[in-house]
Amino acid sequence: MNIDKFQESMYQLIIETSTNLPRDVRRAIKSAKERENAGTRAAMSLDTITNNIKMADDKVSPICQDTGLPTFKIKTPVGANQLVMKEAIKNAIAQATKDGKLRPNSVDSLTGSNSGDNLGFGTPVIKFEQWEKDYIDARLILKGGGCENKNVQYSLPCELEELGRAGRDLDGIRKCIMHSVYQAQGQGCSAGFIGVGIGGDRSSGYDLAKEQLFRSVDDVNPNEDLRKLEDYVMENANELGIGTMGFGGETTLLGCKVGVMNRIPASFFVSVAYNCWAFRRLGVAISMETGEINEWMYQEGEHIDFGASEAELETAAVAETAEQTDIVTLQAPITEEQIRSLKVGDVVQINGMMYTGRDAIHHHLMDHDAPVDLNGQVIYHCGPVMMKDEEGKWHVKAAGPTTSIREEPYQGDIMKKFGIRAVIGKGGMGPKTLAALEEHGGVYLNAIGGAAQYYADCIKSVEGVDLMEFGIPEAMWHLKVEGFTAVVTMDSHGNSLHKDVDKSSLEKLAEFKERVF
């Protein structure tokens, strides 16, 4: 095989997977959009999501800034040299990272230092299998941390909140799957897709769950019991009312695929792999002779580009003008009085400066001074994809919010210590932060998870960067923004939309205790 051509094919697979959402996923998002009630926060989020998909298409840029842990599944004919192929894949990964199509995501687990090129022990994941066919089947999934952290594994029998005992049978499995959707809330950037693995051990069960994510969204399970189970989950999970981004709404789940394997008598695991709406997985069939791509997978059917028609643009312009009056504009530095006037549900638009801060920055700020004056300022939970031009100027390639709950141990203390007035992220925060918002006068703003192109477009310039020793995603970037839109989901009066949706969805979950399929 021509290994240079194979490397080029792998590079194309990576670029397409990061920037171009597959057609089966687009169909699912389109139907969710059609189901949603106009004018709701969920509808607004879905609009942002579809705009973002279109922008990623047009710019050939990452759909979401978190390009995850690249995971390849490759089937090769007998005799293929997998060692050489592995090297070619690593080269393609390093090149795609250099070109700003993947975020450098590989960090030393002990020191936290970032390798900078997505290569390192254990990254990327490349799984080979041999098969009898004469071509290579190569598939790739880019699954980000926000949804990866919402994966869950149940060891049956077990007791589930509001659902009671989940036994070692199909009904017990049904309860676990319903619970898995509830526990994810909006934190994995719902609406999401789930892959479920029944059986195996702890590691093979998760592998089986992830394997399901390689099935097409609209396929039909050949196992009749599992087909019924998948249909049941798809018909009922949306009743939980978690909705897009956990804002409430009609669509919580976009797809459910279940697989089964044998287990040992002593163990019974149900493993669930949760994937966000930015469900980036593609596949190619590659010629063994030439190394070139002969076919793309998951691309059957009509292409949905989410571009607005002229009539839609006109309606949107009218609606936008009508809504402008309801949008609160904030310019940093923000006063306590302005912040205390905000309440859950308000839509805000930020102009001026904001500063990124993720795990390393929050940990650092607990014991150190801030490199800039953060009084009245806005912290953005974001690990952007950045590129430096020839003159040494930084440009933002993708910059959506990251999961905020990881900063729960620090956030309240840091806001009080530095006088920060607003925090932007996704998925909401917990009781400690909510109490601090009330005491200090702060708000939590939920941006639309995964809308990395949409938000990158709101960033007008990169004014500086501090703490680069933490690596690109973890550094503190000083960003000047215009029209950065987000929703107040936790205010300074003790209100939290996340807490409310969690409570109402838990009450709904209780209704599934007895419902059988």
Q: Is 449 in the site for ligand SF4 (CB under 6 A)?
A: yes
Residue type, 36: E
Q: Is 384 in the site for ligand SF4 (CB under 6 A)?
A: no
Distance, CA of 65 to CA of 453 (rounded, Å): 8
Q: Is 246 in the site for ligand SF4 (CB under 6 A)?
A: no
Which residue from 471, 484, 383 is spatially nearest to 62, judged by alpha carbons?
383
Which residue, 145 or 167, is less far from ligand SF4 as judged by CB? 145
Closest distance to ligand SF4 from the beta carbon of 69 (Å): 11
Selected binder of ligand SF4 within 13, 136, 189, 398 (CB under 6 A): 189
C-alpha distances in Å from residue 317, one per residue of 4, 185, 297, 308, 310: 49, 32, 37, 11, 11
Distance, CA of 298 to CA of 22 (rounded, Å): 6
Distance, CA of 406 to CA of 328 (rounded, Å): 28
Which range in 139-147, 245-253, 258-266, 315-323 contacts ligand SF4 by CB under 6 A? 139-147
Please give the sequence-ordered ranges of beta strands (E in DSSP) within 162-306, or none if there are none: 164-166, 192-198, 253-260, 269-275, 280-287, 293-297
Which residue, 52 or 221, is less far from ligand SF4 as judged by CB? 52
Distance, CA of 246 to CA of 160 (rounded, Å): 21
Q: Which residue is nearest to ligand SF4 (CB)?
A: 144
Q: Is 450 in the site for ligand SF4 (CB under 6 A)?
A: yes
Closest distance to ligand SF4 from the beta carbon of 133 (Å): 32
Q: Is 407 in the site for ligand SF4 (CB under 6 A)?
A: no
Closest distance to ligand SF4 from the beta carbon of 402 (Å): 6
Distance, CA of 25 to CA of 217 (rounded, Å): 7
Which residue, 400 or 473, is less far from ligand SF4 as judged by CB? 400
Mark 342-381 with x for binding to ligand SF4 (rule: CB under 6 A) and - for no binding: ----------------------------------------
Q: Is 85 in the site for ligand SF4 (CB under 6 A)?
A: no
Q: Is 146 in the site for ligand SF4 (CB under 6 A)?
A: yes
Distance, CA of 308 to CA of 259 (rounded, Å): 38
Which residue, 249 or 449, is less far from ligand SF4 as judged by CB? 449
Which residue from 236, 197, 156 is spatially nearest to 510, judged by alpha carbons?
236
Residue type, 333: P
Selected binder of ligand SF4 within 69, 96, 240, 276 (CB under 6 A): 276
Which residue, 182 or 269, is less far from ligand SF4 as judged by CB? 182
C-alpha distances in Å from residue 328, one per residue of 34, 314, 408, 485, 495: 28, 23, 26, 10, 18
Which range in 3-11, 141-149, 263-271, 356-364 contacts ligand SF4 by CB under 6 A? 141-149
Burial category of 458 from C-beta neighbours within 10 Å (exposed 0-12, middle 13-18, buried 19 and up): buried
Coil, strand or helix at 216: coil
Which range in 102-110, 145-153, 239-247, 320-328 contacts ligand SF4 by CB under 6 A? 145-153
Main-chain phi, psi angles of 293, to 5 degrees: -75, 125
Closest distance to ligand SF4 from the beta carbon of 67 (Å): 8
Residue type, 312: E
Which range in 26-34, 143-151, 156-164, 473-481 contacts ligand SF4 by CB under 6 A? 143-151
Closest distance to ligand SF4 from the beta carbon of 39 (Å): 24
Distance, CA of 30 to CA of 49 (rounded, Å): 10
Which residue, 66 or 502, is less far from ligand SF4 as judged by CB? 66
Selected binder of ligand SF4 within 53, 92, 213, 278 (CB under 6 A): 278
Closest distance to ligand SF4 from the beta carbon of 192 (Å): 8
Closest distance to ligand SF4 from the beta carbon of 358 (Å): 12
Which residue, 232 or 444, is less far from ligand SF4 as judged by CB? 444
Q: Is 144 in the site for ligand SF4 (CB under 6 A)?
A: yes
Q: Is 188 in the site for ligand SF4 (CB under 6 A)?
A: yes
Q: Is 64 in the site for ligand SF4 (CB under 6 A)?
A: yes
Which residue, 29 or 501, is less far from ligand SF4 as judged by CB? 29
Question: Do 254 and 32 form a contact (C-beta atoms < 8 A)?
Answer: yes
Closest distance to ligand SF4 from the beta carbon of 360 (Å): 17
Question: Do 517 and 228 form a contact (C-beta atoms < 8 A)?
Answer: yes
Cα radius of gyration (the chain) = 23
Size of residue set near ligand SF4 by CB under 6 A: 13
Coil, strand or helix at 289: coil
Which range in 70-78, 142-150, 201-209, 317-325 contacts ligand SF4 by CB under 6 A? 142-150
Closest distance to ligand SF4 from the beta carbon of 393 (Å): 26
Distance, CA of 8 to CA of 291 (rounded, Å): 9
Closest distance to ligand SF4 from the beta carbon of 451 (Å): 8
SS3 content of the chain, % helix, strand, coil (to 5): 40, 25, 35
H/E element, 477: strand 476-490
Residues that bind ligand SF4 (CB under 6 A): 64, 66, 144-147, 188-189, 276, 278, 400, 449-450
